């Protein structure tokens, strides 16, 4: 399948930011770099892979006095859906509702039932209320295409080129962006980038 070098570099960087080693990130970044995949999906997939593969701490043992087959409900309010699922899994609990993986990193838990600290039986379900947290659009004009994609991804946003052809290079410069800097939008929003080839900017940056 066609391979996009720019997507590969961005995907590897996003995966490394989750604590994955460089060698593993290089291997894992191949799948999100397939050209046929929409760019938004590539970014979300790279972040999901990074969180899945990142080293995790061994969960603390259950407090003394918790009967066998029982567990305490952890706090997941304020976490992304993906992180909430992982925390509940460590506590031997399930989550309700179940949602599609592509939305797992853009939705945030705003409420939970049962609440934190409540006794529950292994396998019980914790019902969560989800919301789309907002993000402030950063200014990425005058940055390279690669730098802009990474900064936008850090905010939960996805940068896409205004013109899909020709496929932009990672060192092309962002000339304009929409939405503009400082605008408050929902995480997962697409930011359209107008790019200028590097040789039209007077040489390498």
Domain spans in the chain, listed from the N-terminal domain onward: 1-55, 70-131, 133-205
For 133-205, CATH number out of 3.40.50.720, 3.10.300.10, 3.30.10.20, 3.30.460.10 equals: 3.30.10.20
Do 181 and 191 meet the contact criterion of CB atoms below 8 Å apart? no
pLDDT at 40: 62
Query: pTM for the whole thing?
Result: 0.48
Per residue in 82-115, pLDDT (tens digit) is 889 999 999 999 999 887 666 676 688 989 999 9
Better pLDDT: 181 or 169: 181
Cis peptide before 128 (omega within 30 of 0): no
Domains 70-131 and 133-205 share a fold: yes
Instruction: Read off the pLDDT band of 3 (50, 70, 90).
Output: low
Q: CATH fold of 70-131, please?
A: Trypsin Inhibitor V; Chain A (3.30.10)
Instruction: Read off the pLDDT band of 81 (50, 70, 90).
Output: confident
């Amino acid at each position: 399948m066609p391979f996009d070098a720019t997507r590969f570099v961005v995907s590897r960087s996003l995966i490394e930011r989750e604590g994955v080693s460089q060698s593993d990130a290089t291997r894992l970044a191949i799948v999100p770099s397939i050209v046929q995949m929409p760019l938004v999906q590539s970014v979300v997939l790279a972040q999901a892979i990074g969180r899945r593969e990142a080293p995790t701490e061994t969960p603390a043992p259950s407090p003394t006095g918790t009967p066998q087959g029982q567990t305490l409900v952890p706090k997941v309010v304020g976490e992304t859906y993906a992180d909430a699922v992982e925390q509940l899994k460590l506590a031997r609990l399930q989550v309700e509702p179940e949602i599609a993986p592509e939305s797992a990193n853009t939705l945030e838990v705003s409420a939970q039932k049962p609440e934190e600290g409540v006794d529950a039986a292994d396998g019980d379900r914790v019902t969560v209320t989800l919301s789309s947290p907002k993000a402030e659009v950063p200014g990425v004009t005058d940055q390279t295409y690669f730098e802009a994609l990474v900064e936008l991804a850090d905010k939960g946003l996805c940068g896409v080129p205004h013109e899909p052809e020709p496929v932009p290079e990672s060192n092309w410069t962002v000339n304009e962006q929409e939405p503009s800097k400082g605008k408050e939008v929902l995480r997962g929003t697409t930011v359209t980038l107008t790019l200028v080839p590097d040789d039209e900017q007077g040489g390498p940056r």
